[in-house]
Structures are given as structure tokens and as C-alpha cells.
């Protein structure tokens, strides 16, 4: 019989939830295994124990100990090592010490591929139009099977686009616009249909919003999305609260049956303290990549390929989806993934809706934009004009230059600014002035377009209907 002393010898600590964490060094053997009764149905000796084994200690009058043991590898060491460098997942993006995200490490970790010049050249050849600035400047920098989408398109096969938005704020900021601006380009260049998912359910769960507030924000965000210029004859926008059911829900159940709890915890980092609503969400984001989830759009087209433009923090959802898809008879969705749009202060990895001073919103006035850029945009310029003239700006950390790389269309002007500023002939104030002009034009154009979006237009985009000319 295992004694309390022997068990205590193996206990390394008790975490905040009362779970005993056993020593990795001592492991488990015949002397310290936990007995479940007189039959000695304890854990067998193991030659190479898992790094951690968790269990909750229960005592009885006869000093027997029952242990509920989870034989899963603990991710604690891995999470601690990662958090000391960078964290990238669907709910958190942060870099080490407020620095920049290492995208090469992300590619290695996630197992996606770098988007190279040969693929960009193919896009230009197949579409007969200049690649989008986000392609030319590696804003969209990684992919999964984008080459296969281009192969199929070259053979004459069609595909559809799928992207989404989690409505957590009243208005979009510039970082939110990036996937929609790029998706609009893809829709026009390849002449393909698009589904846009508004995950109002997700934000209700993660942001602790009421269902009604999440639905309201989804409706407001839909207007901003429509203002990007999508073609209503090729675009279906839906909110999860309104649309989930029927064929969509059947696919959710099929996906859910293929993914174990252990796997979901490993992919998404769920813990025992999370509400079960979080566990149920990943299939909701997965199944729009299956054409049968939209029988009104793609009847009889279950083999239609799907291309998903998104930021790379969404990759975990679609790694799961790609693993499941062949088992359900679907093609794996392809992805084309972007970098993050940085915060004005150049910290924490990306622009955030939770900090209004880190973001330029599409509702900001020209005065707001100028003030935010001048006050908060981190500069790579030197401390004095004399030093700046001598050394030039550090373009690697300069936020105004980074923003211009996203939104200044003219390649030659951008290169001129980078050269002059980098060599000290252009000052920080001049670069910020040009950025203010560029962003003010984009925001004011978007605001005019949004003002023209009526409730009837929203209803038209969100109506469950066929799209007869979606491939024309």
C-alpha cells in the first residue's frame, strides 16, 4: 500500500487549483504508485514517465488514497518558455519585452510555408493584374496550400473565399481592415464568391458580452465590412447567432466528434477553469471552410476548395480543420496569412481595440489621426537633429514607416522616403506628416462609404440566398 509519506515525496507543489504536480525526476514506480483499492489497481511502473502527471488527492478513513490521474503531458514548461519570448494565439499576441514578433519562428512552430516570389508572380500571371501591395510587401507572408489553389485555378477549377470578424468593438481600426481590403482584391482578381463569418458568439464568450450586445456589434461591424466595397452578388455575410443550424450545425457535430478534448486543450490551451462554451467554439470557425455548410450557395459542390485570408494568429483553428477535413470527405482549406498591424507605440505585437491610443479607428477625425500619430507613433529617428542627420533613422523600429509600408500605394515614393529618412535627410516630423495625409484619406474614404450603407444593404448581404453570378 502506498503511504502518505511516499506520495508526499513525489509531490513537487500544489498549484492554484489544488492539483498536485508530481516530481518529474522521481516519476512513478512500484513504491510510489497510487493504489485504488485492495486489488492494487494502481499505475504500473513506467520506464519513461510523462513530464508531469496531475491528480487530485482524496483521503478516506482507512488512509487509502484515491487519485484521479490525467495521463497527459503537461504543457507548463512549454508555455513558460514561449511566454518569455512571444505568445501568438487567437486571443493573445505579444512579443518578448514589447519587441517585435519573430515570424520565422512562427512559420517553424505552426508548420506553414513562406509565401515566395514565385507564387506572387503566378498570381500576377493568372489574374493579369498587379499583385496587391500586401503581397508585394510581404504583409501576407505565409500560406498553406496556396500553390494548390493556384494549380487548380490554372486547370479551370473554382474555389471560394472565407474570412471573418469577431465583433468586439463599435468600430473597426486599421488593423481590422487589412484582411478585408486584401480579400476584396482576391475576390475581384479571381472572380470568386466569398463568405464572411461574424463570430458574435465567440465574442460573447471570450469578452463576456451579452448575446444582445454581441449581435448589435455584429450588425455595426457588418456595415464597416460592406463599406470596403464587396460585391453583393458574390458575397454572403452571416452572424453565427443567426445562421448556425441545419447543414452548418451537422458539420460542426462531425468536426467535434473528430477532435478529442486532449487535442483541443493542446491546440487552444483550454483549461479546467474555462467555460464549456469555449470548448464548443472551434468547430464553429472550422466549418465555413466546408462548402456543404452553405447548401444555398454550393449545392452539390462538396469538393469545392476554400481559401482563407487571415492573420497568422488564426492558424490554430485551421490546423485543426485541415487535420479533420479529409476524414469527413472534404478538401483541406488553404490559407494565406498576414503579419500583424503594429500598435502605434510599437509594443505588444499588434494594434489592439482595447487600447484606443494604440489604434487608428475608421471613426477617428482628421484631428484625432494627426494627434495620435504625432503623440504616440514610435519613431526610429534620433534624439537630436544633428545626430539624426549623422546617423539617420532606424527603419526597423519606426512605426510611421511601417504604416506607410501597409498603406502607401506608390512603391517608388515609399522607397524614396525610406532612403531619405534612413540616411537622415528627412526628419521624423516630415514622415509623420505624410503618414497623416495617407491615413486621413483612407479613413475619410471609408467613412463616406460606410455612411452610404443602409440597413437594407446589410439585409441584402446577410440574406440566405443563392448567388447566381458568383463565378462570373
10-residue averages of pLDDT along the chain (472 residues): 39 38 41 37 39 40 34 43 73 78 93 96 97 97 98 97 94 94 98 98 93 96 97 98 98 97 92 93 98 97 96 96 97 97 78 73 96 95 94 95 97 97 96 98 97 97 94 88
71's CB contacts (< 8 A; 6+ apart) are: 50, 53
The angle at the Cα of 467, spanning 464 to 469, to the nearest 5 degrees, equals: 170
Q: Considering only CA atoms, which of 369, 322, 360 is closest in space to residue 178? A: 360
Same domain, 57 and 154: no
In terms of Cβ atoms closer than 10 Å to its own Cβ (0-12, 13-18, 19+), residue 198 is: buried
Print the domain residue range for 412: 361-451
Give the C-alpha separation, 136 to 116, whole Å.
10
Do 282 and 189 lie in a common domain? yes
Domain shared by 371 and 289, yes or no: no
- Do 257 and 367 share a structural domain? no
Which uninterrupted H or E stretch holds 307? strand 305-311
Per-residue model confidence (pLDDT) at position 100? 82
Same-domain check for residues 263 and 182: yes
- Considering the domain boundaries, does residue 215 fall inside one? yes
CA angle 42, 48, 52 (to 5 degrees): 70
Instruction: List alpha helices for 227-305, DSSP H.
Output: 240-243, 246-258, 261-268, 276-280, 282-286
Assess if residue 113 is contained within a domain.
yes
C-alpha cell at position 271: 483549461
In a domain, 145, yes or no: yes
- 402 and 254, same structural domain? no
**Can you give the CATH number for the domain in which 112 is found?**
3.40.50.620
- For residue 29, the tally of other CB atoms under 10 A from its CB is 15
Structural contact between residues 192 and 377, judged by C-beta atoms closer than 8 angstroms: no
User: For residues 211 and 228, what is the distance between their CA atoms, to the nearest angstrom?
Assistant: 26
Instruction: Name residue, grid cell 477535413.
Output: 325
- Is the CB of residue 372 less than 8 Å from the CB of residue 403? no
Q: Which residues contact 247 (CB under 8 A, 6 or more apart)?
A: 292, 293, 294, 295
Q: Which pLDDT does position 126 carry in this prediction?
A: 98
Same domain for 336 and 377:
no
C-alpha dist (Å) from residue 250 to 23, 42, 284, 295: 44, 41, 11, 12
Query: Is 261 a domain residue?
Result: yes
Which among 345, 375, 390 is the end of a domain? 345
The answer to whether position 47 is within a domain reads yes
Tracing cell 482595447 back to the chain, one arrives at 354
How many structural domains is the chain composed of? 3
The reply to whether 385 and 297 lie within a common domain is no
Distance CA 324, CA 464 (A): 27
Co-location of 427 and 316 in the same domain: no
3-state secondary structure (DSSP) of residue 195:
strand
List Cα–Cα distances, 154 to 147, 151, 187, 472, in angstroms: 10, 5, 16, 16
CB within 8 Å of 94: residues ≥ 6 apart: 86, 87, 348, 349
The answer to the question of residue 456 being in a domain is: no
Contact 337, 140 (CB under 8 A): yes
End-to-end CA distance of the chain, in Å?
75
Residue 442: CATH number of its domain: 1.10.240.10
Rounded Cα distance, 96 and 291, in Å: 39
pLDDT at 349: 60
| Judgement on whether residues 234 and 373 belong to the same structural domain of the protein | no
Q: Do residues 230 and 365 share a domain?
A: no
Name which of 105, 81, 85, 103 is nearest 95 in CA terms. Answer: 85
Domain boundary pick from 298, 315, 345: 345
Chain centroid offset of residue 162 CA: 14
Residue 412 domain-assigned?
yes
If asked whether residues 267 and 143 sit together in one domain, one would say yes
Residue with cell 509623420: 432
In a domain, 94, yes or no: no
Amino acid at each position: 500500500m502506498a503511504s502518505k509519506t511516499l506520495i508526499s515525496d513525489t509531490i513537487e507543489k500544489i498549484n492554484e487549483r489544488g492539483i498536485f504536480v508530481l516530481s518529474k525526476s522521481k516519476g512513478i514506480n512500484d513504491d510510489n504508485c497510487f493504489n485504488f483499492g485492495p486489488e492494487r489497481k494502481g499505475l504500473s511502473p513506467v520506464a519513461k514517465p510523462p513530464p508531469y502527471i496531475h491528480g487530485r488527492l482524496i483521503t478516506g478513513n482507512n488512509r487509502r488514497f484515491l487519485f484521479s490521474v490525467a495521463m497527459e503531458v503537461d504543457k507548463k514548461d512549454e508555455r513558460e518558455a514561449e511566454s518569455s519570448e512571444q505568445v501568438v494565439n487567437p486571443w493573445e499576441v505579444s512579443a518578448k519585452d514589447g519587441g517585435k514578433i519573430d515570424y520565422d519562428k512562427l512559420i517553424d512552430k505552426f508548420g506553414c510555408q513562406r509565401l515566395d516570389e514565385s507564387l506572387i508572380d503566378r498570381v500576377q500571371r493568372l489574374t493579369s493584374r498587379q499583385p496587391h501591395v500586401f503581397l508585394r510587401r510581404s504583409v501576407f507572408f505565409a500560406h498553406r496550400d496556396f500553390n494548390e489553389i493556384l494549380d487548380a485555378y490554372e486547370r479551370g477549377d473554382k474555389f471560394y473565399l472565407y474570412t471573418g470578424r469577431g465583433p468586439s468593438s463599435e468600430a473597426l481600426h486599421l488593423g481590422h481592415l487589412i484582411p478585408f481590403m486584401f480579400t476584396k482584391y482576391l475576390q475581384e482578381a479571381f472572380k470568386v464568391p466569398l463568405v464572411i463569418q461574424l463570430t458574435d458568439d465567440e465574442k460573447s464568450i471570450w469578452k463576456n458580452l451579452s448575446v444582445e450586445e454581441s449581435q448589435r456589434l455584429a450588425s455595426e461591424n457588418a456595415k464597416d465590412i460592406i463599406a470596403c466595397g464587396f460585391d453583393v452578388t458574390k458575397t454572403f455575410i452571416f452572424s453565427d447567432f443567426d445562421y448556425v443550424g441545419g447543414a452548418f450545425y451537422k458539420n460542426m457535430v462531425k468536426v467535434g466528434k473528430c477532435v478529442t478534448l486532449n487535442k483541443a486543450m493542446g491546440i487552444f490551451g483550454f483549461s479546467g477553469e474555462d467555460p464549456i462554451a469555449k470548448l464548443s467554439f472551434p468547430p464553429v470557425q472550422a466549418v465555413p471552410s466546408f462548402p456543404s455548410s452553405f447548401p444555398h450557395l454550393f449545392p452539390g459542390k462538396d469538393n469545392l476548395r476554400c481559401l482563407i485570408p487571415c492573420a497568422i494568429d488564426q492558424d490554430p483553428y485551421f490546423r485543426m480543420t485541415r487535420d479533420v477535413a479529409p476524414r469527413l470527405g472534404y478538401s483541406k482549406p488553404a490559407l494565406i496569412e498576414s503579419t500583424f498591424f503594429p500598435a502605434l507605440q510599437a509594443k505588444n505585437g499588434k494594434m489592439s481595440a482595447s487600447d484606443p491610443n494604440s489604434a487608428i479607428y475608421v471613426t477617428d477625425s482628421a484631428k484625432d489621426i494627426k494627434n495620435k500619430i504625432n503623440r504616440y507613433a514610435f519613431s526610429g529617428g534620433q534624439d537630436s537633429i544633428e545626430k539624426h542627420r549623422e546617423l539617420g533613422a532606424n527603419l526597423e523600429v519606426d512605426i510611421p514607416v511601417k504604416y506607410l509600408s501597409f498603406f502607401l500605394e506608390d512603391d517608388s515614393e515609399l522607397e524614396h522616403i525610406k532612403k531619405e529618412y534612413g540616411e537622415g535627410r528627412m526628419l521624423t516630423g516630415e514622415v509623420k506628416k505624410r503618414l497623416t495625409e495617407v491615413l486621413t484619406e483612407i479613413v475619410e474614404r471609408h467613412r463616406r462609404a460606410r455612411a452610404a450603407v443602409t440597413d437594407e444593404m446589410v439585409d441584402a448581404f446577410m440574406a440566405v440566398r443563392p448567388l447566381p453570378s458568383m463565378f462570373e
